[in-house]
Amino acid sequence: MSEFRIEKDSMGEVKVPKGAYYAAQTQRAVENFPISGITFGRPFIQALGYVKKGCAEANMDLGLLPKEIGSVIVQAADEIIEGKFDDHFPIDVFQTGSGTSSNMNTNEVIANRATELAKENGSGVKVHPNDHVNFGQSSNDVIPTAIRIAGGLGVKNDLIPALNYLADAFEKKGKEYAHVVKTGRTHLMDAMPVTIEQEFGGYARQLRLGAARVESSLGRLLELPQGGTAVGTGINTHTEFGAKFAEKVSSYTGMPFTEAENHFEAQSTVDAPVEMSGQFKTIAVSLMKISNDLRWMNSGPNSAIGEIQLAALQPGSSIMPGKVNPVIEEATNMVCAQVIGNDAAITVGGLNGNFELNVMLPVVAHNLLESIRLLTNTCHNFADRSVSQITVREDVIKEKVGRNPILVTALNPIIGYDLAAKIAKKSYAEDRALLDVALELTDLSKEELEKALDPIKMTRGGITD
């Protein structure tokens, strides 16, 4: 038997794999874009399912789509949402800039599956991909709507919880070692002391601010372009369709989606995804700072800082036995680099809104959703395989703090900057304890100096008395 069947569209006949639910327009796109081999993943396909279900139900409610046709479209769309037909979405993400190919891919799969369901239930209606599944829609509002649905769900359900999960891990580890005072560092040089809890609390705050930044951008991402059709005017759709559609999708997802306040803005730009991507970039910058701090603190372990010990997860060298590397932090840094690169691609995508349509929608969708996935997975991995397993080397830290000449800063209010600097330099040059040098060069007693130079007291701020 032949492995192909013949399908027709407005341009003629096309050979399509026999078992495929998609049809001619999808096959043309497969042949036209053999570029990366990267296809849309579950979140975007699911979002397309939500779009088609919401459109069908809204149009049935408005009396514009027959119930016997709309009901099987909804059934087929539900199966798309559940992931039953992901293998039937083969189009490369580098395709037509409007994403028309992916919209028609969805229309064809749903039309063929809905026709199959109609046959099973006895109605026998034939569902058309354009006339029925795509009724009252255009790729120009479907694809940007799917971007916002997928992005909004990914941010709310995955990324924000993941950022808070990692922040929790840092706070928990900080409390575990709240009693440990370590040397602070500025310019990579020894500075005044801080506690492990203070340092890790700073990391947690970075992550919670990242979650708050994303949350602050979410409302603008939740405005849906659906209902603007071809150019934002709403041609060939009901005037109440956009609002009703947003209500439907909100009921499916539990997210407060709304109709776009201005369809011309919503379809001609991807400003909301660009803004959200900018927040992802900021999170990536925060994560790389945190990750690199842990790499420095773990460095050595004998010839460098060596204040903490990261979990030994795998051999670090094919030639040096016993070497163990900070692999989770290195993977985290690579993810951060990718997210920053994704933001650059999304930014360029945003620049390509011409008149009534942006023509880089698929690459914006792919990069936005990839950033959500990478940051979400990395936060969980970082928390579970690194932060929660950190061991603080208290003996090393204590020895380093005691030899830190910068502690003399606490004496500034008592003896003045110039004498304090002299003590610090002599202590460093002679490799002597700061306390011993201060006893020689000041009139302060040992008890007074021990009180003033107590590292834990210095971490609480204020003026030395």
Task: List, by residue number, the catalytic residues.
Answer: 187, 317
What long-range pairs does 2-6 form, CB within 8 A, spacing at least 24? none
- 3-class DSSP state of 234: coil
Name the token pair of 289: 């700072």
Q: Decide: residue 36, CB within 10 A, 0-12 exposed, 13-18 middle, 19+ buried.
A: exposed
- Measured CA distances, 226 to 48, 80, 243, 248, 249 (Å): 12, 19, 9, 12, 11
Extract the tokens encoding 116.
């199959």
Tokens at 187, concatenated: 């310019």
Q: How far is residue 254 CA from its own chain's centroid?
A: 20
> β-pairing, 223-224 with 258-259?
parallel
Give the angle 25-252-231 at the CA atoms, nearest 5°.
45
Query: What is the C-alpha to C-alpha distance for residues 326 and 322, in angstroms, rounded to an integer?
Result: 13
Question: 135 Cβ partners below 8 Å, 6+ apart?
Answer: 55, 56, 59, 64, 65
Phi, psi of 58 (to 5 degrees): -65, -45
Q: Give the number of other CB atoms < 10 A from CB of residue 328.
A: 23
| Cα atoms in the 13 Å half-sphere on the side-chain side of 294 | 30
CA-nearest of 297, 216, 225, 307 to 267 is 225
Under a CB-based contact definition with an 8 Å cutoff, are residues 101 and 35 in contact? no
Cis check for the bond before 273: say yes or no (omega within 30 of 0).
no
**SS3 state at 278:** helix
- Phi, psi (5° rounding) for residue 6? -100, 125
* First-last CA distance in the chain: 93
